[in-house]
Amino acid sequence: MRRDYNGGLIAFSRFFSFFATKTCSPELSINSQFRLLCITCDSLTTTHTFSQLLRQCIDERSISGIKNIQAQMLKSGFPVELSGSKLVDASLKCGEIGYARQLFDGMPERHIVTWNSIIAYYIKHRRSKEAVEMYRLMISNNVLPDEYTLSSVFKAFSDLSLEKEAQRSHGLAVILGLEVSNVFVGSALVDMYVKFGKTREAKLVLDRVEEKDVVLITALIVGYSQKGEDTEAVKAFQSMLVEKVQPNEYTYASVLISCGNLKDIGNGKLIHGLMVKSGFESALASQTSLLTMYLRCSLVDDSLLVFKCIKYPNQVTWTSLISGLVQNGREETALIEFRKMMRDSVKPNSFTLSSALRGCSNLAMFEEGRQVHGIVSKYGFDRDKYAGSGLIELYGKCGCSDMARLVFDTLSEVDVISLNTMIYSYAQNGFGREALELFERMINLGLQPNDVTVLSVLLACNNSGLVEEGCELFDSFRKDKIMLTNDHYACMVDMLGRAGRLEEAEMLITEVTNPDLVLWRTLLSACKVHRKVEMAERITRKILEIAPGDEGTLILLSNLYASTGKWKRVIEMKSKMKEMKLKKNPAMSWVEIDKETHTFMAGDLFSHPNSEQILENLEELIKKAKDLGYVEDKSCVFQDMEETAKERSLHQHSEKLAIAFAVWRNVGGSIRILKNLRVCVDCHSWIKIVSRIIKREIICRDSKRFHHFRDGSCSCGDYW
DNA sequence: ATAGGGTTAG
Integer distance in angstroms from CA A349 to C1' B8?
9
Q: Nucleic chain B: which protein residues 657-696 of A have CB below 7 A from it?
A: none
E strand map for A445-572 = none
Is A251 (CB) below 7 Å from strand B? Answer: yes
pLDDT in tens, A283-301: 999 999 999 999 999 999 9
The answer for A629, left when phi > 0, alpha when psi is -120 to 50, beta otherwise, is left
What sign does the dihedral A365-A371-A374-A380 (CA atoms) show?
negative
Helix (H) or strand (E) holding A672: strand A671-675
Q: Which nucleotide is nearest to A286 (CA to C1')?
A: B7
- List the single range of A33-37, A410-414, A433-437, A602-606 with lowest mean pLDDT: A33-37
At A611 the pLDDT is: 81
CA A345 to each of CA A50, A204, A313, A358, A379: distance values in angstroms, whole numbers, following the listed order:
46, 46, 11, 21, 12
Q: Could you tell me how far CA A704 lies from the centroid of its own chain?
A: 24
Q: Above 80 in pLDDT, residue A59?
A: yes
Number of residues assigned to chain A: 720
Is A441 (CB) below 7 Å from strand B? Answer: no
What is the pLDDT confidence band of residue A190, given thresholds at 50, 70 and 90? very high
Residue nearest to nucleotide B3 (CA to C1'): A148
Per DSSP bridges, beta strands A698-701 and A706-710 are antiparallel
At A258 the pLDDT is: 97
Is A466 (CB) below 7 Å from strand B? Answer: no
pLDDT in tens, A71-126: 888 888 777 777 888 889 889 988 899 999 999 998 888 999 999 999 999 999 99
Q: What is the Cα–Cα distance from A36 to A82, expressed in whole angstroms? A: 24
pLDDT in tens, A461-491: 998 889 999 999 999 988 887 788 889 999 9
Name the CATH topology of A313-412. 1.25.40
At A166 the pLDDT is: 97
CA atoms within 13 A on the CB side of A269: 5
What is the pLDDT confidence band of residue A634, given thresholds at 50, 70 and 90? confident
Contact A315, A348 (CB under 8 A): yes
Q: Could you tell me how far CA A286 lies from the centroid of its own chain?
A: 20
Q: Above 60 in pLDDT, residue A459?
A: yes
Contact A639, A586 (CB under 8 A): no
Q: What is the Cα–Cα distance from A64 to A710, expressed in whole angstroms? A: 74
Q: What is the Cα–Cα distance from A5 to A82, expressed in whole angstroms? A: 22
How many percent of chain A have pLDDT more than 70? 93
Integer distance in angstroms from CA A93 to C1' B2?
12
- List the single range of A324-328, A348-352, A536-540 with lowest mean pLDDT: A536-540
At A44 the pLDDT is: 45
At A13 the pLDDT is: 38
Give me chain A's average pLDDT, please. Answer: 87
Is A86 (CB) below 7 Å from strand B? Answer: yes
C-alpha torsion A691→A695→A697→A703, nearest 10: -20
DSSP secondary structure of A225-258? HHHT-HHHHHHHHHHHHHTTPPP-HHHHHHHHHH
Residue nearest to nucleotide B9 (CA to C1'): A351
Contact A178, A150 (CB under 8 A): yes
Is A104 (CB) below 7 Å from strand B? Answer: no
Give A58 or A147, the one with higher predicted confidence.
A147
Contact A210, A180 (CB under 8 A): yes
Q: Above 70 in pLDDT, residue A11?
A: no
Contact A248, A280 (CB under 8 A): yes
Q: Nucleic chain B: which protein residues 410-439 of A have CB below 7 A from it?
A: 415, 417-418, 421
- Selected from 1.25.40, 1.20.1530, 3.40.1130, 1.10.286, the CATH number assigned to the domain covering A505-584 reads 1.25.40
Core vs surface per residue A237-247: b (16+ CB within 10 A) or e = beebeeeebeb
Read off the pLDDT of each residue in A593-608 and give the average, rounded to a whole number: 82
pLDDT in tens, A522-581: 888 888 888 888 888 898 888 888 888 788 888 888 888 888 888 888 888 888 888 877
Domain locations along chain A: 1-110, 215-310, 313-412, 414-484, 505-584, 588-714
Q: Which amino acid is at A444?
A: N
Eight-class DSSP state of A635: G
Q: Above 70 in pLDDT, residue A12?
A: no
Is A55 (CB) below 7 Å from strand B? Answer: no
Give A621 or A503, the one with higher predicted confidence.
A503
Q: Which nucleotide is nearest to A393 (CA to C1')?
A: B10
